[in-house]
Amino acid sequence: MITLTGIHRVFEVGDEEVHALRDVSLHIDRGEYVSIMGPSGSGKSTLLNIVGLLDRPTSGTYELDGQDVTALTDEQQSQVRREKIGFVFQFFHLVPRLTAAENVELPLVLAGAPSDERRPKVARLLSEFGIAKRARHRPDQLSGGERQRVAIARAMVMEPAAILADEPTGNLDQHTGQEVIHLLEELNAKGMTLILITHDAALGGRARRHIRTLDGRVEA
C-alpha cells in the first residue's frame, strides 16, 4: 500500500547540506503493524513526515494505494492526507478551545461533511474509546490518557488507510501508555495499518515488523 522508492531528503542548513534520508526504499502492506525505531537525528521523523505527506522528498517516488503522490499539488496532497492518513502525536495536538467531540469532528469539518453525518460518527468513536462522557470537555479538563484517546478518535474518524503514531506514549505514564498502545493494537487487529515511531525499544519490539533508521538509511 505504501511504496517508497529511492527517497532522498536533503535539508540545507546554512551552506551545508544535511542528508536526512538517503536512498530509502520501503514497502508497507495494508494491515501491517510496523515500528520505526532509531536514535534522534537518524531520519525517523523525516520519514514519518514524508509518509504522512507533511513533507516532500527531494527525489524519489512515493506511491500510496497505487497513486504517485509525490507529483500532486499542495491542495491535492491535503486531500490525500485528509482521507488516507491519521496522525497521533506525542503532544496530542488537540485544539484547546474546542471540546473533545469538536476535536474529533475536525477532520470531517475540513472535509466538508454535513453535520448530520458527522455527529453519529463522532459519537460512535467516542463511546468506542470509552470517552463518551467527556465529549463536552475541553482538552485542559481531560487527563493525558483521555487526550490521547480523543486524538486517536480524531485520527480514525475519516477511516484512513494508515495511522501514523509518533511517540504516542511519550508524554504519558507507564500505565496510561499501555492502555493507549492496546487501543492502537486493537485497531490494527481490525485491519488498520499501524506505523509506530518510537525510540523506546520495548514499545517498538511489540510490532510485527521493525524498521530501523540510522544516519538517513533504513534497515528493514
Partner 1 sequence: MTTNDVGRFAWRALEGYRTRTLLMILATSIGVAAIVVLTSLGEGARRYVRNEFESLGTNLIIIFPGRAETFGTGASLASGRTARDLTLEDAIALQRIRGVEHVAPLNFVEGEVSAKGRRRDVPVAGSTNEVQYIWGLSVASGRFLPPQDPRNATPHCVLGSKVRRELFGADSPLGQYVRLGDRRFRVIGVLAQKGEFVGINMDDIVFIPVASAQALFNLSSLLRIGVMTRSREDVPRVREEIKRLIGGRHGGEQDITVITEDAVSSAFDKVFVALTFALGGIAAISMAVAGILIMNVMLIAVAQRTSEIGLLKALGASPRQIRFLFFAEAALLSAVGGVVGSIIGQLGSFVIRQIYPSVPAFAPIWAVAGALLLAVATGIAFSVLPARRAARLDPAIALARR
- Report the nearest approach of partner 1 to the CB of residue 79 (Å): 7
- Report the nearest approach of partner 1 to the CB of residue 102 (Å): 8
Please, which residue, 34 or 104, has the CB nearer to partner 1? 104
Q: Is 91 in the site for partner 1 (CB under 8 A)?
A: yes
Residue type for 106, please? L
Nine cell digits for residue 38: 532509531
Q: Which stretch binds partner 1 (CB under 8 A): 58-66, 98-106, 175-183, 194-202?
A: 98-106
Q: Is 114 in the site for partner 1 (CB under 8 A)?
A: yes
Please, which residue, 115 or 202, has the CB nearer to partner 1? 115
CA 85 to chain centre: 7
Dist CA 209 CA 159 (whole Å): 23
Are 103 and 139 in contact by the 8 Å Cβ rule? The answer is: yes
In the numeric block, the cell 467527556 is attached to: 134
Q: Which stretch binds partner 1 (CB under 8 A): 22-30, 34-42, 86-94, 204-212?
A: 86-94
- Report the nearest approach of partner 1 to the CB of residue 193 (Å): 17
Q: Which stretch binds partner 1 (CB under 8 A): 24-32, 34-42, 108-116, 190-198?
A: 108-116
| Neighbour-count burial of 113, counting CB atoms closer than 10 A to its CB (0-12 exposed, 13-18 middle, 19+ buried) | middle
- Report the nearest approach of partner 1 to the CB of residue 205 (Å): 25
Q: How far apart are the first and last CA of the chain?
A: 16
Question: How many residues in the chain?
Answer: 220
Q: Is 78 in the site for partner 1 (CB under 8 A)?
A: yes
| DSSP category for residue 220 | -
| SS3 state of residue 36 | strand
Q: What is the largest CA-CA distance in the chain?
A: 54
Question: What is the contact surface with partner 1 in residues (CB under 8 A)?
Answer: 45, 49, 52, 54-55, 74-75, 78-79, 81-83, 87, 89, 91, 93, 95-98, 102, 106-107, 109-112, 114-115, 154, 158
